[in-house]
Amino acid sequence: MKNQVSKNSVVKIKHLQNSSWKRRKDARPPEIIRASKKILEEKGIKGLSMMKISKAAGVSEATLYKYFNDKNDLLNQVYIDWAEPFIEKMEADIRDISDLHSSLLFIAIRYLEGMKSAPKLHIILFRELRWNNYIGSPIHEMNKRYSSLIKKVFDRGIDNKEILSSTNFNIFRDQYLGGLEHIGIRKVLTSKNINIGKVSSELVNNLLTGISK
């Protein structure tokens, strides 16, 4: 009986040890991403190397490559870690907005404020990540969510007869997002003085002038 109890205790201890090890292992990718984001915010991409990331995260370089293919893959995940909750909140909040103008204005303001909240991350996005194996990347998939959100707003605007049904969505989307990116890169990411609400309103008003019914 005592031997059986002893065996059960050993099995239980091993199970707890395995569970603890698995929890530590599962926690590693988020810890690595947080360490990378901290380095990016403090020193920018020039200060980022796999060696520095491994030291900051408290793991070996070999461990980094168990979870991420290379530095570019890790940078993609750092951006997604920031962007996913950001766009999820945007998707949830916009449900309470009914008209096209207010919806577009809401997206524009949130988009530019997002860039302002994480400038170094967005500088890396536009300079590095967008042009390196972009198609099919996590960032490409995230941008498709932006496009899908705008498409829903656009289609609702047509259904509500707020804009002409002949309006080409692809051109409209490219003008809208392209305008926001241009404003963001030239003004927000260079830390120039900018009234985000004002420029967002001007952009939306200009876009809707030619297509409103």
Across 41-45, 76-80, 99-103, 160-164, least confident range? 41-45
Average pLDDT on 10-39 reads 64
Question: Is the predicted pLDDT of residue 197 greater than 50, yes or no?
Answer: yes
Highest mean predicted confidence (pLDDT) among 41-50, 51-60, 100-109? 100-109
pLDDT at 3: 54
Q: Which residue has the higher pLDDT, 133 or 164?
A: 164
Domain ranges in the chain are: 1-68, 69-213
CATH code of the region 69-213? 1.10.357.10
Q: Which two tokens stand for residue 175?
A: 């003008």
Which one is the CATH code of 1-68: 1.10.10.60, 3.40.50.10260, 3.30.1450.10, 3.30.300.130? Answer: 1.10.10.60
Confidence of residue 20 (pLDDT cuts 50, 70, 90): very low
- Which residues does residue 212 pair with via DSSP β-bridges, in sequence order? 163
Highest mean predicted confidence (pLDDT) among 27-36, 53-62, 180-189? 180-189
pLDDT at 9: 53
Question: Is the predicted pLDDT of residue 27 greater than 80, yes or no?
Answer: no
Average pLDDT on 67-83 reads 89
